[in-house]
Structure 1
């Protein structure tokens, strides 16, 4: 029996573990298939406060884990296959561990960026291929960039990246964009944005030194293969929240993100809290995830103390 089990070890989960451990709650942290979350696939992180020279993503996550362990957090590697949140204590079925019980649960399983699944893509993640303009746009100052996608996210990323790039080319496999008119108009009015519509991405192209040199595409009108030259390829086709294991027991929005009460990390089930990208459809930054991890730990602590006073019938924030 654990007082709190934290599912996930990105910035949110590890921050929650630090706060819980310092409160002598001895949390168990389930690491999952990708310990450290998405930042472990990132090279330099330059926008996390406290590191004026930047820090490697894996190093940042490693430091957070060591900090949590220092105060008594317990870590186990496993995959949460299913949960029973119908009554307390909650029951979690974890691969290799059987069934675990907890008085409270913090869900920080994040959201996985959708990739194109083309050659050269995964090999160059963090080396010219990115899914986060805010995180990596700075590294492409004065260079050409490709943004793949036709929705609001792609238009937002393209507009943002014009702050750094000499040119941003939007590649979309259809002739029409899915983005809202206001987002389309904003991108189309930007002189740095060019368009390669009706193009299907085929592969991320690299030069002899292995550096990204562009995106190979098929012109759907002519059938010919073309190269859209760029030093960076930003994939902006959405994210998928990692909530499938919950079996529909937690209220989510239409895209599967966990709904929380405004200003808290509380879900529709008392004693279950959500933090990080699994409940964040807007910011999706390491620092904002860490902040909600702190909130979740404090919410769980107050719940365990019996000092949390909330009307659990209040509407959820989604």
Structure 2
């Protein structure tokens, strides 16, 4: 079965968990920006946890489904219509052959995930189906979707939940996005980086006291944060050092950059902090104009929060599987 891209949306690309373990070769990981949303989308359609999904940024594509399909939309709350009929997010939906799915703007959040039962049948590149837009690696030669592209769906068993369905339908139950979506824009946990002590006193206080604003120049490589400029107490002579998603760099402008999933593997700017991994998906859902503030966090606290999040996520995925089996 295939899906035709009628309109690509603002930025839509295939993503999975990314290419991990290749930094020594100079290759970043890429992959999904909001891992819990991606994993829950796959769970809702009965996929394996590692199937690629379509990551959609701010405004979605228009897609025509050649055959029957079972889909789920998670992450940012996006307007979705199947042949004009509204579709709910965060649940399992059936689309009959020929359906035109129009995905519009997002009421909340920055990135949504469209999973299809069977997954997207794209050839892995270096072990991943992720699109690295910066390095031009992955499906469609590492670019975002364009009008006229065709997405192929992998083989799968028929879903028993919609055995007699004729039109677009959704299950009567769904997930509450509240635990997985940061509506309140709460402070994000920040560990002190190697060059934190090089900040002057005012900048150390401002780092956790002020509210930054996500710049319109932000992308999958990094979120540029506008606010009171941060300054070093004294100049630093640095060579490039290792970076990864979550590294908070300070360029000469004084406006910090928080690296995201397409982060380069090295960088020469001072590294003043490291975002707690558990908060990376929350930052990924902040759109240009949204505020970001930080709070000091220790490594122990960061690891404890990450374990708790992963345990809750795994428990929910197991419950989804049980619910689908009994449907």
Query: Structure 2-normalised TM-score?
Result: 0.24
Greater share of helix: 1
